[in-house]
Chains A and B, each alone.
Chain A
Amino acid sequence: MYKYDNYDQAIVDARVAEFRDQVNRRMAGEITEDQFKPLRLMNGLYLQLHAYMLRVAIPYGTLDSRQMRMLAHIARKYDRDYGHFTTRQNIQYNWIKLEECADLLEELASVEMHAIQTSGNCIRNISSDQYAGAAADEVADPRPWAELLRQWSTFHPEFSYLPRKFKIAVIASPEDRAAMRLHDIGLELVRKDGELGARVFVGGGMGRTPMIAPEINPFVKADDLLSYIEACLRVYNRYGRRDNIYKARIKILVHEIGADEYRRQVTEEFAHVKTLGIDPPLAELERISAFFAPPAFDAADVEPDRSDPDFAVWLDQNVKPHKQSGYAIVNISLKPIGGIPGDASSAQIDVMADLAEKYGFDELRVTHAQNIVLPHVAKRDLFAVWQALREAELANANLDLISDIIACPGLDYCSLANARSIPIAQKIATRFADAERQRDVGELKLKISGCINACGHHHAGHIGILGVDKKGVENYQLTLGGSGAEDVSIGKITGPGFDEDGIVDAVEKAVEKYRELREGEERFVDTYRRVGMDPFKEAIYG
């Protein structure tokens, strides 16, 4: 894992001191809320429905046990004993006090963490593949590149006041586990004739205008990557709209001028940027990459004893192949039936930290699906890990099944939301609580947003649900056929919306129609793509 150098630590410490002063001035009445709001947002502090909410950055979703324990400590000391892991691999605390926030940030800084650039019109936390460094199909480890982008984007003076927020994802596998093409910039590391470079996609996003990022460049050499991205941002910063918040994201710019024209302008700008010498020297790249060297794998390749049927089910569902023989990737589902997607108590966070330290080379990852990953676990230790997870109520064997639901906080917490998301997730998961039925349905990505901002990624759900406000009453629209993976697509709305119970019934009808129509190994989304919307509409609306 990357470790702060003195410069990293100094700028984070300085920001804490600066924010402490800003809070004190706000509390003393020296600055107004209008003046203070942009300052607190730059430090990840929102005012939500019940209290202040703090979003803490987890760079590319990677953290160690010391940092994970700090997240538990924050939950206990400054919040109400839990945290909420988000779709951008961050964590949010819902009950933070402004008067305690600087102390909290100081404690975070002591473990090389912060909340900088988790809000505002800047480059947000760089997201990546939660299996980085462990996936058999990666062409390179994406984390050094994500870290390089983190350093480049942190306090970047030119990009601190963009037209709108900006999200970048980096992957290095053909399988997209990070919804890469639904980001403002998506990078897929690839090799061409042995040389490392990246496919660059620009202009994706969800929100009220969902778009799949077009490919702007099929291969940018690794040596040029930072300059190329700088050029992408410069064109956006110059021409992105600032007059209309709903048209300010880069996806609108790319769509309006067209991918070809955007590409032409980026190429022109890149020729200039390349003269500025911002690409890091090889020695710096090697310095960063050294932090991500593979751990000392030395476990024998032993297959775990599958005689416990519950353990065997968990193995099949939540444990994925590792590139190193003798090891496996463990997914910890934060989606218990009837629970709150992405929430974990401080005790559970501590358990996960302990397991990472004891069995996982001290590494954890947060996934965009609001789960946790132990990326390097020896197969010989899987049973012990599972037992500890079961003890902590974290052994839910439902990864990628219908109850592994992505849901935003919705109207239970969020001031932007129009409808509640979490209760819908709970009801659907409860309706499909039967584990055998879930496994029979197979992979089904169900995603719920409580408003059109789409924090719950509903556009990218095989089944998506969007909560809307219909004359003061919660109403839920249903979409089918979306995907955030390498088969990326935007879901289509089925028709009129439903009330809280109606949407659960509608989901069940759609699932049962799939079970009736599927052929061979088809997933829900495969069947939908083959047969189209009509059979599902008929089943749902009859």
Chain B
Amino acid sequence: MKLLTGNELGSGAVTWWTGSGWSIHVEDAIDVGEGGEAILHAEEGARRVNAPYIIDAIPTPEGPRPAHIKDRVRALGPTVRPDLTLKPADPAAGDWII
């Protein structure tokens, strides 16, 4: 599957295309298939996302898992600061990245 990701223009936060908008949670991301480029340009033009790009991901029961470790780090947060990730209460969350 393919996901569309980027950053919020103002805050810089990592965001994922949900089909109707943007979420900071990769679990909310949808498969954009071959239609990602068109969404990318429209959303970037409207400044609803900054520096967007399309990535490969693998569907799992818990939601999409980006294929490359770099995007998994982006999705969750730094592995060395669990307290700064999106799941600070789950010390094992970093295992999902590796």
Contact = CB atoms under 8 A, between A and B. Distances in A.
Contact of A97 (B11, B14, B51, B68): B11
Interface of B: 7, 9-14, 44, 47, 50-51, 67-70, 73-74, 77-81, 84
A372 B70 CA distance: 31
Interface string A79-116: 01000000000000001111100000000000000000
A52 B12 contact: yes
Contact of A33 (B51, B69, B79, B80): B51
B15 to A, nearest CB: 11
A194 interface: no
A420 B69 CA distance: 10
Given A340-B80, A412-B78, A426-B80, A51 B51 contact: no
Interface string A14-54: 00000000000011010001000000000000010111100
B11 A51 contact: yes
A423 B95 CA distance: 13
A353 B54 CA distance: 45
Given A98-B10, A99-B10, A49 B73 contact: yes
- Nearest first, the 4 A-B pairs at minimum CB distance are A51-B12, A412-B78, A52-B12, A99-B10
Contacts, number: 67
B3 to A, nearest CB: 16
Contacts of B7: 47, 51
Contact of A472 (B50, B68, B78, B81): B68
22 contacts: A27-B10, A27-B47, A47-B7, A50-B13, A50-B14, A50-B74, A50-B77, A51-B11, A51-B13, A52-B12, A80-B84, A95-B84, A97-B10, A97-B12, A98-B10, A340-B80, A340-B81, A411-B69, A412-B80, A422-B80, A423-B79, A472-B68
A411 to B, nearest CB: 6
Q: Interface centre among A49, A99, A340, by most B CB within 10 Å?
A: A49
Contacts of A413: 78
A415 B12 CA distance: 13
A411 B70 contact: yes
A98 B12 contact: yes
Q: Interface centre among B12, B68, B73, B81, by most A CB within 10 Å?
A: B12
B69 A474 contact: yes
A422 B80 CA distance: 7
A183 B9 CA distance: 35
Given A29-B47, A472-B69, A474-B69, A99 B11 contact: yes
Interface string A307-349: 0000000000000000000000000000000001000000000
Contact of B9 (A50, A80, A96, A98): A98
A47 B79 CA distance: 19
Interface in A400-430: 411-413, 415, 417, 420, 422-423, 426
A472 B67 contact: yes
Contacts of A417: 70
A16 B9 CA distance: 20
A413 B12 CA distance: 13
Contact of B79 (A27, A80, A420): A420
Contacts of A426: 80
Contacts of A49: 14, 70, 73-74
Nearest to A418: B70
A33 B51 CA distance: 8
Contacts of B50: 33, 47
Contacts of A26: 9
Contacts of A51: 7, 11-14
